[in-house]
């Protein structure tokens, strides 16, 4: 094992850096810029049973130290993901990937997982029960422990691969949701998804986003994400994947000390397509500065 190597739900990663779903397309698009096999893994674009155009525009807004998005799970649907997107990714990426799946009903989550389960390049399922930008699904499953548990049970029956439940920060106690999915067979949790926010167009005196609200991401949310990763890692025995405002190698170290086994990088990819590559390149130097021999050794270090 190398200095940067970690094990996530029994699968070894060369490093803990994973581009977050929704910020890296299906991965192969970034292969035009650099060798994406440098990445620990990829969480590809959220996939639903049927194609989705997403929300009406405008659906992106800038904020100080971050951005709002209300894209609304735009994707080509699971059948085209299997027939078109995954073969393109497989041609340029030779490691296991996370299949990020979403739905508007429990049977839809189960259907998407069942259809993708036969794809050999999928190492984990990242089950998104936390998207704040769709109505009638997404976050509604992730804010109620019973609903989160029900999705976990349904997905667990459809695959033997690790399932990682992606949790919403828009709750009173995120550890309650984490414990609920752990009890129903989740192999891990990832957090946080975006925080609900909005902007108002002063000239029109109306909400800037057509969806009215959107998900806040970027450096502004990092302290909130770090706090929730720390709390969740203490509350469950399964691995935690940390995300939310990560943009530097130092942020990765903080997330891991808080209890994250791996770390996803989201909005930073939209600012700089080389963000993940830069973080991976900088990690050894930051480790040397803080006298860290191996990343695996520091997981949860701030909890001890």
Q: In tens digits, what is the pLDDT along the chain, a chain of 304 residues?
A: 699 999 999 999 999 999 999 999 999 999 999 999 999 999 999 999 999 998 999 999 999 999 999 998 999 999 999 999 999 999 999 999 999 999 999 999 999 999 999 999 999 999 999 765 555 555 568 889 999 999 999 999 999 999 999 999 999 999 999 999 999 999 999 999 999 999 999 999 999 999 999 999 999 999 999 999 999 999 999 999 999 999 999 999 999 999 999 999 999 999 999 999 999 999 999 999 999 999 999 999 998 7
294 Cα distance to chain centroid: 24
> Is residue 217 within a helix (H) or strand (E), and if so which, with residue range?
strand 214-217
**Residue-wise over 47-60: b if at least 16 C-beta within 10 A, else e?**
bbbeebeebeebbe
DSSP code of residue 75? B
Domain ranges (residues) in the chain: 6-55+74-195+217-303
CA atoms of 256 and 229, how far apart (whole Å):
9
pLDDT of residue 130: 76
pLDDT of residue 203: 97
Number of H helices, E strands in the chain: 10, 15
Question: Would you say the pTM of this structure is higher than 0.85?
Answer: yes
Cβ-contact 180, 238 below 8 angstroms: no
What positions carry a catalytic annotation? 131
How many other CB atoms are there within 10 angstroms of residue 82's CB atom? 15
Report, at the CATH architecture level, how domain 6-55+74-195+217-303 is classified. Answer: Alpha-Beta Barrel (3.20)
């Amino acid at each position: 094992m190398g200095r940067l190597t970690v094990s996530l739900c029994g699968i070894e990663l060369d490093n803990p850096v994973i581009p977050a779903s929704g910020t890296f397309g299906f991965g192969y698009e970034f292969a035009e810029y650099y060798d994406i096999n440098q990445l620990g893994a990829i969480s590809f674009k959220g996939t639903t049973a049927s194609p989705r155009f997403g929300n009406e525009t405008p659906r992106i807004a800038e904020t100080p130290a971050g951005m709002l998005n209300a894209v609304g799970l735009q994707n080509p649907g699971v059948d085209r993901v299997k027939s078109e997107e995954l073969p393109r990714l497989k041609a340029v990426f030779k490691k296991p990937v996370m299949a990020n799946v979403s739905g508007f009903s429990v049977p839809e989550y189960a259907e998407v997982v069942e259809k993708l389960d036969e794809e050999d390049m999928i190492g984990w399922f990242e089950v998104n029960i936390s998207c704040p930008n769709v109505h009638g699904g997404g976050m509604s499953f992730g804010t109620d422990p019973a609903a989160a548990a029900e999705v976990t049970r349904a997905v667990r029956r459809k695959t033997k691969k690790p399932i990682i439940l992606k949790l919403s920060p828009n709750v009173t106690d995120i550890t309650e949701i984490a414990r609920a999915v752990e009890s129903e067979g989740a192999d891990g949790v990832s957090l946080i998804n975006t925080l609900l926010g909005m902007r108002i167009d002063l000239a029109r005196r109306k909400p800037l986003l057509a969806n009215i609200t959107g998900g806040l991401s970027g450096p502004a949310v990092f302290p909130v994400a770090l706090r929730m990763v720390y709390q969740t890692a203490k509350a469950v025995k399964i691995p935690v994947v940390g995300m939310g405002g990560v943009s530097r190698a130092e942020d990765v170290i903080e997330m891991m000390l808080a209890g994250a086994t791996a770390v996803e990088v989201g909005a930073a990819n939209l600012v700089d397509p080389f963000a993940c590559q830069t973080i991976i390149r900088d990690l050894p130097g930051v480790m040397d500065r803080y006298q860290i021999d191996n990343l695996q050794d520091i997981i949860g270090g701030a909890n001890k």
